[in-house]
Structure 1
Amino acid sequence: MLNSLQTKYPIIDWEVYTKDSRKYWKIIRVGDHTKVYQFFKDMLKNFDRDDLVKLWDLVRERFSSIEPTDDKERSSRVKLKRLFEPDTDDLLELQRYMHDPLTWRLYDTCGVHHVSTETGLDIFMLVEKDYPMTRGLPMLMLVNKLQVDQHSEMADELLRKIFILANRPRH
């Protein structure tokens, strides 16, 4: 039985792609290998950390001198900025609206965990980074259990970190 080797092509650009009135992120890789994603979380399922860092570099570069004009462009910048350069006030304000039912998922290929609500609120966080959290959110995350595709040391470490946050003494 032959195993096909997958060649990883680096990301060189991105754009917003529209088809049938739906907007997608079009990720362009070396050799004109492209893939479109409607949802940010779908990108995370297929990205590794290098892809994520490169996309953030490209988004930051594009919007260093101009403002995004499209909702998908704004969404890219907001989600990636929250990942790499979190704003304490913004994250704490968003957490005020995060209640049960809540989903907590780990995308271990890129090292991102994702907390979401049924109403569409999302927080994407790099595993190794410490983000400001209200006392209630880590507790909700533990109650709703981390969803992972397969057991990993990264998942165990993330659970320990959130457990410590949820059980820290009140000041």
Structure 2
Amino acid sequence: MDSVMGKEGTKRAGLNLQEESSKRQKIREGSKPTEEPKADEISQEDFQQIMMVDPVEVVYVEALQVKYPIINWEVYSEDIRRYCRIIKVGNHTEAYQIFVDMLNKFDRDDLVKLWDLVKERFSTTEPTDDKEKELWVELKRLFKLDNDDTLWKLQRYMHDPLVWRLYDTCGVYHVSLVRGHDIFMLVDKEYPLTRGLMTVMLAIKLQVDEYSEMANELLRKIFILVNRPRQ
């Protein structure tokens, strides 16, 4: 029953979004009621409707002023907690307990450099520590797409409540389900998202720290994919 209701809710959300966008397009262009909007047309008003500004409380002033490149990483324990320590030039270190914490502070160069270091380490060995496995899995999903990954098969269970957030400093967006499923994706990379999940994403709005061209482009891409004719 939950599965059926989820599918019906997703379908209604998609229809409502397309109908609302169609009405706005007709009003703007003064077109006849029978005309359909193009799949790649989305206005600034549409962007405002499917984007929610949620400013971060902490501003990393030091990160904005000085850039210290990443040179290494390691996993360490403090009491009962496990952390990933990022080591930068000048012996500057930062500790992160979860992957999202990195995305809040990293830029794209940091993310790419960390991926290169992690990939190099596990090119000849397998991660054994849980924290190492977590980092390896998330980075590999970001940069090295595997269509057979079971994560993509879990999409059929991903409905409301969802959180859809953009980390624009590193160009990553994150779809999170309250029950624990997380999908991290690069804005400029294509992933096998289902139409149903993308429709839910548009319905619940994209959370951003501020309005940006990257956020607009991400919304435009998902909007186009949702409205693409079925093959």
| TM-score normalised by L of structure 1 | 0.94
Q: Distance between the aligned counterparts of 2:224 and 2:177, measured in 1?
A: 23
- In the alignment, which residue of structure 2 is the partner of 1:137? 197
Which structure would you say has the larger RCO, counting Cα contacts within 8 Å and 6 or more residues apart?
Answer: 2
- In the alignment, which residue of structure 1 is the partner of 2:155? 95
RMSD: 1.4
Q: Distance between the aligned counterparts of 1:121 and 1:92, measured in 2?
A: 10
Q: Distance between the aligned counterparts of 1:77 and 1:97, measured in 2?
A: 24
Q: Distance between the aligned counterparts of 2:181 and 2:157, measured in 1?
A: 8
One-letter amino acid matched to 1:26 = R
Q: Considering fraction of residues, name the structure with more helix.
A: 2
Q: Considering fraction of residues, name the structure with more strand.
A: 1
One-letter amino acid matched to 2:179 = T
Q: Deviations over 1:112-152 (max 9, x none)?
A: 00000111211110001111111111111101100000000
1:167 aligns with 2:227: yes
1:71 aligns with 2:130: yes
1:37 aligns with 2:96: yes
- In the alignment, which residue of structure 2 is the partner of 1:58? 117
One-letter amino acid matched to 2:137 = V
1:24 aligns with 2:89: no
Q: Distance between the aligned counterparts of 1:30 and 1:19, measured in 2?
A: 23
Q: Distance between the aligned counterparts of 2:159 and 2:128, measured in 1?
A: 31
Q: 1:104 aligns with which of 154, 158, 164?
A: 164
- In the alignment, which residue of structure 2 is the partner of 1:82? 141
Q: Distance between the aligned counterparts of 2:144 and 2:87, measured in 1?
A: 24
- In the alignment, which residue of structure 2 is the partner of 1:116? 176
Q: Deviations over 1:45-85 (max 9, x none)?
A: 10000000000000000100110001111111110011001
One-letter amino acid matched to 1:153 = E
Percent identity for Structure 1 against Structure 2: 70
The runs of at least 4 aligned residues of structure 1 exceeding 6 Å deviation read none
Q: Distance between the aligned counterparts of 2:212 and 2:183, measured in 1?
A: 22
Q: Distance between the aligned counterparts of 1:149 and 1:92, measured in 2?
A: 27
Q: Distance between the aligned counterparts of 1:142 and 1:100, measured in 2?
A: 12
Q: 2:186 aligns with which of 122, 126, 134?
A: 126
